[in-house]
Structure 1
């Protein structure tokens, strides 16, 4: 027994920054950003649009879609690397906001692979008959961790939240594979401002924002993502031709296109919304799932692969039947 997705939901901050706005903040242009990333705009959280607030809004939408009451949820997992509060965790704040009084709650942090690992964690609980229904959320306010003067990173990121409701079913299918490469972790970092060297006033805080070696991250993603997707297909005894969609973390349009090329699969099987949302880290996969569901693109029985990759370095893939 594993969990089947019964409902999806999402939240996007009201404020939108397009590439032209960024061109007035630093030396860049719409052409430069689109050519390297495929991104045209991103949503940026305003005051009050915290990780917990956005996660709760996405969760409420997912619950309504699943026709499940908040008090029927047994487990709430929030994947985030950008929560404004260390304690209480974002999942407990979501519980309070939506009234899921019977749920056990905790957060996970695995950067852009986070939602996938949170989904795997929820599946483990459901598979062991510990819980019956779980709410899994990816939510990020990356604008708080972004150096808006560093055009090599700031043009990439956006804010948002996505959520799914899982319910344990006997005939559901979920097969996963995940890996980590800790020795490659310096390719993508973000350091806490609570470290002693950053506490004094006037200290250069640049290291406390996201830092990325773009070339290394690109090489990592385009080599390891196809590898882990084929690994999970082999585990399931499935061929790539049987897959309806590959729902990848929306890091960069060039990465997604390169993965499709490496796998020798048509790009049409790789949905993308990065042009409108940017890289939303752990929120990107559930945001994409919710969008495709609302557009009527997902049909019962479809085989779908989810794949996340990012800081750690971490990466993985999961196969499910919709």
Structure 2
């Protein structure tokens, strides 16, 4: 028998404030049409004053636990993917652990920007397969509105805040590609591309949080190629092909990147879970948000084969193949 990390529950949370594209027209040389045609984004959510990443993460975590039908103390670990933590330390994961009333196990954060959830999911899978844990809560949560330069129309209109969570559980499988759970993962990074997407601040450099900076056109060219290759690699590791895929659940950065990747993978857009229009780019939160929304919509069903893929600052990119 083979140990698999199987999704038992999902959940998400979006802040109450909804910001339509038109809100930017008063302060920037931009328009709803300009934003929509270049990104596919129509609106996004921003955290309220005083609302932190751990607040969003905790709300998503509670929804996932309820969906899974388990209590916080049934968990062995909490892993949070984020680039916008409440504090330099301690980790957001330990804050969530406390907020849930979880008195056992451990928690830690993963920082791989937009690819963070894929990295966190892969780490959780490794812990389960190694026999270290039985159940892991994996969260992607961001408050990117805190690191936006509101004078830069090329970046500040693209990002939003939110959180998504999944509960992974150790189960026995047959060792075949028909098993439920994570079947394969593929991770990469290349620090030579760091200037394409970064924040110009930090503890040991400026002592400030800084603002997000991005070379959009250069990043776009890297994204489609790297997302396609990592998805192909993960499918190959799982012994599967494009025709086996029921749903692509991509990082929701830009509709043109999503469409370009789907085309190269030979998957039609009606088999892609899309939330970018309503959420914008929520970085590490975007894939778990899309997973939860996909289940809520009735798109993702038990037995479906999913491919998740993402690319973010670093550059860091990767993919996970799992059967729901």
**2:189 pairs with 163, 180, 185, which one?**
180
Q: In structure 1, what is the Cα distance between the partners aligned to 2:27 and 2:217? A: 24
1:191 counterpart (200, 204, 207):
200
Alpha-carbon distance in structure 2 between the residues aligned to 1:134 and 1:296: 24
Matched residues in 2 for 1:7 and 1:231: separation? 27
Give secondary structure in 1 for the equivalent of 2:154: helix
Query: C-alpha separation between the residues in 1 aligned to 2:214 and 2:84?
Result: 16
Alignment match of 1:274 (pick from 269, 273, 276): 276
Q: Partner of 2:170 in structure 1?
A: 168
TM, length-normalised to structure 2: 0.94
2:71 counterpart residue number: 69
Counterpart in the other structure of 1:250 = 252
Matches within 5 A, 1:220-239: 220-239=222-241
Paired with 1:198 and 1:53, the residues of 2 have a C-alpha distance of: 24
Partner secondary structure for residue 46 of structure 1: coil
**CA–CA separation in structure 2 for the residues paired with 1:114 and 1:152:** 23
SS of 1:43's equivalent?
Answer: strand
Aligned pair partner of 1:86 in 72, 85, 88: 88
- The reply on whether 1:59 has 2:65 as its aligned counterpart is no
Deviation at 1:296, TM superposition (A): 1.4
Relative distance call for 1:266 and 1:83 in structure 2 (3 A) is same
Q: Distance in 2 between matches of 1:244 and 1:132?
A: 27
User: Closer, same or farther in 2 for the Cα pair 1:170/1:18, shift >3 Å?
Assistant: same
Give the count of matched residue pairs.
315
For 1:202, the equivalent position in structure 2 comes to none
Query: 4+ residue runs of structure 1 moved beyond 2 angstroms?
Result: 191-199
Tell me how far apart the structure 2 counterparts of residues 262 and 107 of structure 1 sit (CA, whole Å). Answer: 33
Which of 133, 136, 147 matches 2:135?
133
1:197 Cα deviation after fit = 5.0
Q: What's the secondary structure of 1:154's corresponding residue?
A: coil
> Secondary structure of 1:114's match?
helix
Which structure 2 segments of 5+ residues have no match? 174-179
Instruction: Please give the secondary structure, in 2, of the residue aligned with 1:221.
Output: helix
Matches within 5 A, 1:110-125: 110-125=112-127
Is it true that 1:287 corresponds to 2:289 in the alignment?
Answer: yes
Alignment correspondent of 2:8: 6
Displacement of 1:196 in angstroms is 5.9
Task: For 1:310 and 1:87, locate their aligned partners in 2 and report how far apart those are by CA, in whole Å.
Answer: 22
- Deviation of 1:195 (Å): 5.0
- Deviation for aligned residue 1:173: 3.8
| Distance verdict in 2 for CA 1:284–1:101, change over 3 Å | same
Q: Distance in 2 between matches of 1:34 and 1:77?
A: 33
Q: 1:220 to 1:130 in 2, by over 3 A?
A: same
Counterpart of 2:177 in structure 1 is none
Could you tell me how far apart the structure 2 residues matched to 1:315 and 1:21 are? 32
Task: Choose the corresponding residue for 1:302, options 301, 304, 314.
Answer: 304
Q: Equivalents in 2 of 1:114, 1:101: separation in Å?
A: 26
Q: Deviations over 1:201-237 (max 9, x none)?
A: xxxx9xx200000011101111111111111111111
Deviations 1:263-320 (A, max 9, x none): 2221111111110100000000000000011111122111111111111101111111
The match for 1:98 is 100
1:16 corresponds to 2:18: yes
